[in-house]
């Protein structure tokens, strides 16, 4: 137990296995060397090490009888092993805060990062350390007499935002990662809520789908939201902390500044209170506490592996192995600024935890990010139906409510406020707009593939199953809509179609129709989504290459294709049965199915008439959408199904919303 990690005597500097060679005692850590560049109020661009500071909390009243094992001097912190007092280890960091240092002095170290976020850098400030070491105190503090980093950051942002900008806005979100599930802390008490999904945007940032994002213009507005988030956070008493955090707590600030030159600075600042590592023998955890503790320790273990892999230059960094490391991806080895506050408790009983924290902090200080500035050029005038739709979003017209603005939040206004003369209505939805654009383009591609399939289906199959495609698409759309209606999680249409392409390819392989198999596999390739695993993509590419070159690939053998078709037959039957049950269930279900079918036909008929006014009478369709629909009608001909509305740049979500909103036609 005593010698798990290599102990390094004073003068040699700790950081047991941290490459590259640690700085000699008394020298600045690498983060400090790289940090001295642009003034704090300007964005930083270039290589930057994660900045690491240490905070040692004072002894608490119940610890009065215990000796301290840690001491601080200047930028150095030293620990003495209580079992062998000749064993003294010293570490040097960017900054070390001792027990007498105030919340104010800690924030003075944080403020430059906050100002850089305002100038267009993404940034993450996170507190790390064992349970009870002072992370929550540092991040949140106490509202009345000792506010921590979050309230001070918001105050700082509110007083600086809008300087040198035409318009500016700040929006906040709060979430927690509890037992590897993500919950929106502004939406209610987590355990009563569905958990949210993480996804990667086209610009590679990690976002949480459906998270409340509330614009604030005053400290009062922030305080209410903060109180709600803290109330909803999962905490419980353990032997080591009366109010121990049982989750990773994340505050996200979305900052947007529209400059006079028309450019937009758009950044995200994350402030994170990580849950503390726990030794269950000492916390006394059992039952639910033990499960929480398992999830906390596992995610912190992955965090350690991420830092290790980055330092060793591994080709694969295991960000995806836990939710918190995906969140920290941009700040550890990515394009954001990272500031870690490693918290330590002073008592001798915490020696090994403190030792581990200091070693992890040292390793983290060697992680380098390549920091970028998030500046977006002035938007160009809309040129296409998709651009028109996007313009609609930017100008706050009749566009559908963009996800990310106070969705599901009961606590605060969803309407963005500007600090200047003419604020954008949705200034922080750039990620969402990019997503919508990609989705609209994908839908257009899917629609064109479907058209091609419908016209060529008979020829491709060489049998009489041609028209079935159109019916199948209707069934798919119908199933999707009824799943949405019943609140079930939607399986993206592109995923369903991709799977059906793979099945078609297998059938073609079994029938010896190699050319058709290649065609279907290529279509499956086109239908891949951003989250399709790389391994699946590589496998598909290899299968196509093998078929094209006439070489053998195990997955293309007739036996494998037959095996896969057989395996998928059961779920298919089950799905078919469930669709059947939908139609043949209760009278109400039958009536609802008929109503949907009738509504779909009515909507299509109105749109196919090309009468702008009649189309605009449909719910969820304003002037711009109606014009886009009529324009696409002129180019592509009549719409056969609701999914065809994607030709006008409408997303599948919007199409489903149109169907639902018009159900009472």
Please give the annotated binding residues for ATP, written as ranges: 129-136
For the CB of residue 128, give the shortest distance to ligand ATP in the complex, in Å. Answer: 9
Looking at beta carbons only, is 116 or 226 nearer to ligand ATP? 226
The interface region with ligand ATP, picked from 82-90, 135-143, 348-356, 382-390 by CB under 6 A, is 135-143
Nearest distance from C-beta of residue 333 to ligand ATP, angstroms: 25
CA 364 to chain centre: 22
Distance (Å, whole) CA 336 – CA 328:
9
Residues 210-269 that bind ligand ATP (CB under 6 A): 241, 243-245
- In whole angstroms, the minimum distance from the beta carbon of 5 to ligand ATP comes to 21
Report the alpha-carbon distance of residue 646 to residue 477 in Å, rounded: 12
> Could you give the CA distance from residue 532 to residue 547 in angstroms, rounded to a whole number?
22
Does the footprint of ligand ATP cover residue 98 (CB under 6 A)? no
Pattern 43-62, binding to ligand ATP, x per CB under 6 A?
Answer: --------------xx-x--
Counting contacts by CB under 6 A, is residue 131 touching ligand ATP?
Answer: yes
- Give the residue ranges of the annotated binding site: 129-136
- Alpha carbons 310 and 122: distance in angstroms, whole number: 20
Per DSSP, the three-state class of 570 is helix
Task: Report, in Å, the least distance between residue 282 CB and ligand ATP.
Answer: 12
Residues 545-584 touching ligand ATP, rule: CB under 6 A, are: none
Give the number of other CB atoms < 10 A from CB of residue 415. 11
| CA nearest neighbour of 654 among 664, 642, 639 | 642
Q: Which residue is associated with the tokens 């330092």?
A: 311
From candidates 51, 137, 326, 513, binder to ligand ATP by CB under 6 A: 137
Stretch that binds ligand ATP, among 133-141, 177-185, 394-402, 603-611 (CB under 6 A): 133-141
CA nearest neighbour of 479 among 582, 600, 584: 582
By beta-carbon proximity to ligand ATP, the closer residue of 244 and 285 is 244
Give me the 319-358 binding string for ligand ATP, x by CB under 6 A, dash otherwise.
------------------------x---------------
Answer for which of 112, 120, 132, 347 binds ligand ATP (CB under 6 A) is 132
Greatest Cα pair distance in the chain: 89
Q: Could you tell me how many residues of this chain bind ligand ATP (CB under 6 A)? A: 18
Measuring CA to CA, how many Å separate 428 from each of 120, 209, 390? 13, 14, 13
Interface pattern 586-605 for ligand ATP (x via CB under 6 A): --------------------
Whether the upstream peptide bond of residue 184 has omega within 30° of 0, thus cis, is no
3-state DSSP of 423-476: CCCCCCCHHHHHHHHHHHHHHHHHHHHHHHHHHHHHHHHCCCCCCHHHHHHHHH
Tokens of 202: 């086209």
- In terms of Cα–Cα distance, which of 336, 251, 244 is closest to 284? 244
Query: Residues 182, 323: contact at Cβ < 8 Å?
Result: yes
DSSP codes of every residue in 291-313: HHHHHHHHHHHHHHHHHHHHHTT
In the complex with ligand ATP, which residue's Cβ is closer, 244 or 359? 244
Q: Nearer to ligand ATP by C-beta: 59 or 398?
A: 59
Q: Can residue 133 be called a binding residue for ligand ATP (CB under 6 A)?
A: yes
CB of residue 304 vs ligand ATP: minimum separation in angstroms? 16
Closest CB to ligand ATP among residues 106, 646: 106
Residue 278 CB, shortest distance to ligand ATP, in Å, is: 8
Q: Is 124 helix (H, G, I), strand (E, B) or coil?
A: strand
Compute φ and ψ for 121, nearest 5 degrees: -95, 140
Task: Give the nearer residue to ligand ATP in terms of CB position, either 254 or 283.
Answer: 283
Residue 129 sits in the site that holds ligand ATP (CB under 6 A):
yes
Shortest Å distance, C-beta 624 to ligand ATP = 50
User: Which residues, 630 to 649, sit near ligand ATP by CB under 6 A?
Assistant: none
For residue 99, the minimal CB distance to ligand ATP (Å) is: 7
Considering only the stretches 132-140, 171-179, 418-426, 607-615, report the one whose residues sit in contact with ligand ATP under the rule CB under 6 A: 132-140
Q: Which of residues 141-180 bind ligand ATP (CB under 6 A)?
A: none
Binding status of residue 134 toward ligand ATP by CB under 6 A: yes
* DSSP string of 603-637, one letter each residue: HHHHHHHT-HHHHHTSTT--HHHHHHHHHHHHHH-
- Round to whole Å and give the CA distance between 60 and 242: 12
**Chain centre distance of CA 645:** 29
Shortest Cβ distance from residue 510 to ligand ATP (Å)?
57
- For the bound state, the minimum distance from the C-beta of residue 413 to ligand ATP, rounded and expressed in Å, comes to 31
Which stretches of the chain bind ligand ATP, using CB under 6 A? Answer: 57-58, 60, 129, 131-137, 241, 243-245, 275-276, 343
């Amino acid at each position: 137990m005593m010698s798990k990690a290599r102990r390094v005597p004073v003068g040699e500097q700790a950081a047991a296995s941290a490459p590259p060679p640690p700085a000699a005692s008394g020298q600045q850590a690498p983060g400090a060397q790289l940090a001295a560049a642009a003034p704090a109020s300007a964005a930083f661009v270039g290589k930057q090490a994660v900045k690491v500071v240490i905070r040692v909390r004072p002894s608490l009243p119940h610890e009065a009888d215990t000796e301290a094992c840690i001491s601080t001097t200047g930028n150095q912190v030293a620990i003495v092993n209580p079992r062998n007092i000749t064993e003294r280890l010293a570490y040097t960091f960017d900054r070390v805060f001792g027990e007498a240092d105030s919340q104010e002095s800690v924030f003075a170290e944080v403020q430059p990062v906050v100002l850089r976020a305002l100038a267009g850098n993404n940034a993450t400030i996170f507190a790390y350390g064992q349970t009870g070491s002072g992370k929550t105190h540092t991040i949140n503090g106490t509202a009345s007499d000792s506010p921590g980093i979050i309230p001070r950051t918001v105050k700082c942002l509110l007083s600086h935002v809008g300087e040198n900008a035409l318009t500016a806005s700040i929006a906040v979100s709060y979430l927690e990662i509890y037992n590897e599930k993500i919950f929106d802390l502004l939406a209610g008490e987590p355990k009563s809520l569905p958990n949210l999904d993480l996804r990667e945007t086209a610009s590679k940032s990690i976002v949480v789908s459906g998270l409340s994002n509330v614009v604030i213009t005053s400290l009062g507005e922030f305080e209410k939201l903060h109180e709600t988030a803290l109330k909803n956070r999962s905490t419980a008493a353990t032997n080591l902390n009366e109010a121990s955090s049982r989750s990773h707590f994340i505050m996200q600030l979305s900052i947007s500044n529209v400059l006079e030159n028309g450019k937009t600075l758009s950044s995200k600042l994350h402030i994170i209170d990580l849950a503390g590592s726990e030794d269950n023998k000492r916390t006394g955890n059992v039952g639910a506490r033990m499960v929480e503790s398992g999830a906390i320790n596992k995610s912190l273990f992955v965090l350690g592996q991420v830092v290790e892999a980055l330092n060793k230059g591994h080709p694969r960094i295991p960000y995806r192995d836990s939710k918190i490391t995906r969140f920290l991806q941009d700040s550890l080895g990515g394009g954001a600024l990272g500031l870690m506050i490693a918290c330590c408790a002073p008592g001798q009983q915490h020696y090994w935890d403190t030792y581990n924290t200091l070693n992890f902090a040292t390793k983290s200080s060697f992680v380098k990010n390549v920091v970028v500035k998030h500046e977006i050029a002035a938007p160009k005038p809309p040129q296409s139906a998709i651009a028109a739709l996007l313009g609609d979003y930017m100008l706050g017209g009749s566009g559908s409510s963009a996800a990310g603005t106070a969705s599901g939040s009961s606590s605060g206004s969803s309407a963005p406020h500007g600090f200047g003369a003419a604020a954008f209505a949705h200034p922080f939805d750039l990620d969402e707009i990019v997503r919508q654009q990609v989705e609209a383009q994908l839908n257009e591609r899917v629609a064109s593939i479907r058209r091609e399939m419908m016209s060529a289906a008979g020829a491709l199959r060489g049998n009489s199953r041609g028209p079935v495609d159109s019916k199948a698409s209707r069934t798919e759309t119908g199933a999707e809509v009824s799943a949405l209606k019943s609140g079930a999680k939607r399986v993206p249409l592109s995923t369903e179609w991709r799977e059906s392409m793979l099945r078609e390819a297998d059938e073609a392989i079994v029938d010896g129709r190699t050319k058709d198999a290649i065609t279907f596999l290529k279509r499956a390739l086109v239908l891949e989504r951003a989250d399709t695993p790389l391994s699946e993509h590589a496998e598909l590419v290899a299968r196509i290459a093998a078929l094209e070159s006439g070489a053998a690939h195990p997955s293309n053998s007739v036996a494998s294709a037959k095996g896969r078709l057989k395996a998928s037959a059961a779920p298919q039957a089950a799905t078919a049965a469930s669709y059947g049950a939908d139609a043949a269930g209760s009278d109400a279900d039958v009536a609802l199915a008929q109503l949907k079918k009738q509504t779909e036909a009515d909507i299509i008929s109105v749109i196919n008439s090309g009468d702008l006014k009649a189309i605009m009478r449909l719910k969820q369709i304003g002037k711009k959408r109606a014009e886009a629909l009529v324009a696409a009608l002129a180019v592509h001909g009549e719409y056969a199904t609701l999914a065809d509305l994607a030709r006008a740049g409408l997303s599948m979500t919007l199409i489903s919303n149109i169907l639902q909103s018009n159900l009472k036609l």
